[in-house]
Amino acid sequence: MNRRAFITALGAVATQQGWNRLASPGSGLAVNPLQSQPVTTSRYPYLQNVRTDRASILWATLEAGLGQVQYSSDGVNFKTVVARSRFFSRLDPGQPSHDYVQYQADIAGLSPNTDYVYSVTVNGAPVQAGGDLRFHTAGPGPFNFLVLGDSGWGLANQTTEQYMIAQRMLGERPVPAMIIHTGDICYNPDGTYDSYQQHYFDYYAASMSSVPFFPCPGNHDYLFLNGAAYLAIHAVPTDSVPAADRGRYYSYDWGNVHFVSLEVMQSLDQAVSGNGPMLRWLDNDLRSTRQFWKIVYFHQPPWSTGLNESDPVALKGRAFVCPILENNGVQIVIGGHNHSYQRSQPQRNKTFVGSNVGTNYITSGGGGAILYAVDTNQPIMAFGKSAFHYLRTEVRGTQITIHAIQYDGVEFDTYTIAPAPAFSDDPKVTPVTLSPGPVAGATIRIIGRSLAAEETFLCTPTPPTTMAGTTVTVNGQPIQLLYVSPTQIYALLPFAVSGNITIRVTTANGFVERAI
């Protein structure tokens, strides 16, 4: 299907739903004829920065006015948030052929793991939607997220696969918590406001109203005014990011996953030359999370094959970013840039190891742009395919399964990561300590990784022997748990022990034990 057929297909959907015109590539305009004083939508509402307690909703209309979002968790009682707005002129570089106003409503005080519906107005008139106006806040429990990269090629003969991937993502059930974009969001032209409208929003609008995108920028996004349009259209998390760098890199939690999105076009150079904080921030950020999973994504993959395998930015990432990631136990690193799907051997400090202790480097750059070849003969490669695809990633406690799905629906790779518990191998750390000793009432502290699915503690007269799926035995007898987290356990020894002491930690992924 070329772009004309794609637009026609979307137009048919719009007609079915009673819209007058679709916000289509080239025009970007839509008018609701039912309103007496209609506003003209130039960009359908889309979600950003959905978290446990907040969400941002952005959209654009031709008219300036009072932008508002009404939202509700029960469909009866609505609250209203006033949006801030920003004018964009058609006379500025990279803009479409009309002036427009971008609105952003930041909602706070939300409840975790909760469904909300919302509506959007400007001067009281409804702003048309590209899809369902609803969202689900982050919270504990299992969830799915999708990944795509290098998508908006923008040339007629390359739109088919991007469109088909967009439709498959829209049809995903259960509805994914979020969609990660690994960068190079739009090309031809690279990274302009108009290009984002035509090659990004017009493709994914039906998903973006109910599923937040959490992107990282690619080199093509930064070719236009150093990422000016990318930065303007996104409202990503800003927690703990130095003020000057907000929007470029960030981190956030969903369920028991800590996600980090890096920007390696300018912030990495600045950090490596001692003039920027990103790497320092990254190390602090990864050290301070207590989540079981750490997933980091940035555009140029440090380990992958193909046209861009020796990209200087990728090699710089390998030299300066990977040690921080691997030392902090990051299990999954995702990139784009090589237009294909690839999965590395799990590794740590440039040594191949099991997936229970290693970092898995995934490349997902087959979202629609012209494909590159993959060299599956290189030892680093565990699997690769030059294919238009997206990833469905299922987070289930201490297991993550990645499904690579081709644009035609064929699943061509399935990979499960289930890190087993491990004691710390840091020579400066004593992984198991009994205080004051092997006597009844002693406290046992265990330091390691993958020890429990999530941080949990209970203050009860009789502490449980299983917490967050973790049990600890001493000489085969379960002991009471006071606190568990992925990296630490505090437990009570209710009986005295003499002679050999064998301590075993068991999770859904296996066990680890040692005699002390």
Specify the residue, 241 or 369, whose C-beta has the smaller distance to Fe ion: 369
- 175 close to 210: Cβ distance less than 8 angstroms: yes
Smallest gap from Cβ 339 to Fe ion, in A, equals: 6
Footprint (CB under 5 A) of Fe ion, residues 326-355: 337
Specify the residue, 6 or 187, whose C-beta has the smaller distance to Fe ion: 187
Binding residue for Fe ion, selected from 96, 150, 265, 479, defined by CB under 5 A: 150
| Cα dist from 228 to 86, 153, 180, 192, 193, whole Å | 14, 19, 20, 8, 9
Nearest to residue 73, comparing CAs of 120, 137, 15, 30?
Answer: 137
Smallest gap from Cβ 311 to Fe ion, in A, equals: 8
| Cα dist from 457 to 420, 431, 481, whole Å | 21, 20, 8
Specify the residue, 182 or 485, whose C-beta has the smaller distance to Fe ion: 182
Containing 204, the helix (H) or strand (E) segment is helix 202-208
Smallest gap from Cβ 93 to Fe ion, in A, equals: 21
Residue 247 makes CB contacts below 8 A (sequence gap 6+) with 231, 234, 236, 238
List the end-to-end C-alpha distance of the chain, in Å, as a whole number: 66
How far is it, in rounded angstroms, from Cα 485 to Cα 503? 17
Q: Give just the sign of the alpha carbon dihedral 17, 198, 147, 305.
A: positive
Stretch that binds Fe ion, among 24-32, 38-46, 161-169, 214-222 (CB under 5 A): 214-222
Smallest gap from Cβ 371 to Fe ion, in A, equals: 10
Nearest to residue 249, comparing CAs of 284, 217, 290, 222?
Answer: 217
Specify the residue, 184 or 413, whose C-beta has the smaller distance to Fe ion: 184
Smallest gap from Cβ 277 to Fe ion, in A, equals: 24
- Can you give the C-alpha Rg of the chain in angstroms? 25
How far is it, in rounded angstroms, from Cα 366 to Cα 343? 13
* Mask for 216-255, x = binds Fe ion (CB under 5 A): --xx------------------------------------
Residue 254 makes CB contacts below 8 A (sequence gap 6+) with 138, 143, 145, 177, 178
Specify the residue, 218 or 421, whose C-beta has the smaller distance to Fe ion: 218
DSSP 421: P
Chain center to CA of 375: 27
Specify the residue, 265 or 451, whose C-beta has the smaller distance to Fe ion: 265
Footprint (CB under 5 A) of Fe ion, residues 454-513: none
Specify the residue, 106 or 269, whose C-beta has the smaller distance to Fe ion: 269
Specify the residue, 144 or 182, whose C-beta has the smaller distance to Fe ion: 182
Stretch that binds Fe ion, among 126-134, 142-150, 426-434, 501-509 (CB under 5 A): 142-150
- Which position's Cβ is nearest Fe ion? 184
| Cα dist from 64 to 23, 25, 123, whole Å | 18, 22, 9
How many residues make contact with Fe ion (CB under 5 A)?
5
For strands 466-467 and 470-474, give the pairing: antiparallel
Specify the residue, 130 or 217, whose C-beta has the smaller distance to Fe ion: 217
Footprint (CB under 5 A) of Fe ion, residues 163-192: 184
Stretch that binds Fe ion, among 153-161, 168-176, 213-221, 455-463 (CB under 5 A): 213-221
Smallest gap from Cβ 299 to Fe ion, in A, equals: 6
Smallest gap from Cβ 263 to Fe ion, in A, equals: 13
Binding-site ranges for Fe ion (CB under 5 A) = 150, 184, 218-219, 337
